Amino acid sequence: MTVYLDHAATTPMLPGAVRALTDEMTRTGNPSSLHGSGRAARRVVEESRESLAAALGARPSDVLWTSGGTEADNLAVKGLFWARRREDPTRRRILVSAVEHHAVLDPAFWMAEHTGAELVLLPVDSDGVLDVDALRDELDRHGEQAALLSVMWANNEVGALQPLDEVVSLARRYGVPVHADAVQAVGQVPVDFAASGLDAMTVSGHKVGGPGGTGALLARRGLDLMPVQHGGGQERGVRSGTLDAALLVSFAAAVDEAVAARPVVAPRIAALRDELVAGVLAAVPDAQLRGPVDTARRLPFNAHFTFPGCEGDSLLYLLDSAGIEASTGSACQAGVPRPSHVLLAMGVDEHDARGALRFSLGHTSSADDVAALVATLPAVVDRARAAGLAGVR
């Protein structure tokens, strides 16, 4: 039996999302066509837009469909920067937290390299939470030159919830639009786009029990965005491309189901997460929980550890061979494992950061999953440490 503890990477589709997808896939129609089949597909797209907006505290006109979280993040970073620079050439600074997902960091670095943008990486504390004082200082000194600010709702690796209320309040003083990647947050914590004060927010389908290849950028009506891709002029002329009614109705159904179930599901999974944390620390006493210890300040589905003397990849493969699937959270470029940029930004030593594992739970997780991990982990850690020592010799 496989124990799946990588729900933050992707989680099984919810029953309602599967039904919506299979039902709609039997129908034909391009939502941009004017005949009956096209109008029927358009109706499904717009009803899905209304459903998603209602679940996330937004207006239907705020919802821009995308192919996923990565495209939505790219549209936010690039589209906001180009639009602001067109309006005011002096606004060239892109402010992002140092622990953003690569879907935000990489386009920001690309903009700095290719378009003359000035990239500012905002520091975080040892829990992975944005240093608000550093943001305040940056805005006090250079707020008039800031084109945009992107701070994720919750970190995908260590689960740290970010102080978005303070972020939005500070940015508003200088007229700086704020984007948040909320991919991990939806279905785990309350997410209300209008109440947040954000200008733009990214969500993704396959993280909440919907199909892959679906996402949305919630962008308040009137927010100026430069298109990143061009074509048929769909989605307010900002995101061209033929819309897939079946995928979108399934995505919207998943978000609706996950948000509606959150008051019951999140406490249940949080209790499992607490069992997992306690079990891991009892089984491997020198393991270190990363991210906020205060459970009110981290995602309820997330537990992230570093294991001294271990390589995360070794732990991952050994667990996988035992039927337990997790994640390291680190990047691998050109076949070379690299420590997580999130952990390094938190001040974790590079050697310690290499021994990271993220266990993330979801709607299908059970106490048996946690028990299997806790029973298996000590032997896995011992073998990983032995392999590390042998490599040193």
Length of the chain: 393
Q: At residue 306, what is the residue type?
A: T
Instruction: Find the DSSP H helices in 146-214.
Output: 164-173, 193-196
Q: Which of 332, 375, 379, 386 is catalytic?
A: 332
C-beta separation of 304 from 361 below 8 A: no
Other CB atoms closer than 10 Å to residue 61's CB: what's the count? 13
Where would I find the H helices in 185-334? Answer: 193-196, 245-283, 312-321
Query: Coil, strand, or helix at residue 131?
Result: coil
Active site residue 310: no
Token pair listed for 128? 């992975």
What DSSP assignment string belongs to 324-351? EE-B---EEETTEEE--HHHHHTT--HH
User: Hey, what are 330's tokens?
Assistant: 């680190």
Q: In degrees rounded to 5, what are phi and psi of residue 318?
A: -65, -40
Which residue type sits at 255? V
24 closest CA partner among 181, 282, 214: 214
Return the structure tokens found at 238.
Answer: 């900002």
Query: Which residue, among 173, 225, 172, 165, has the nearest Cα to 195 in the 3D structure?
Result: 165
- Largest separation between any pair of C-alpha atoms in the chain: 72
Answer positive or negative: Cα dihedral of 70, 76, 77, 82: positive
Alpha-carbon distance 320 to 182, whole Å? 29
Output the CA torsion sign for 241, 93, 109, 154: negative
Is the Cβ–Cβ distance between 243 and 42 less than 8 Å? no
Separation of alpha carbons 347 and 125, rounded Å: 8
Between CA 201 and CA 45 the distance in angstroms is 20
Residues classed as catalytic: 332
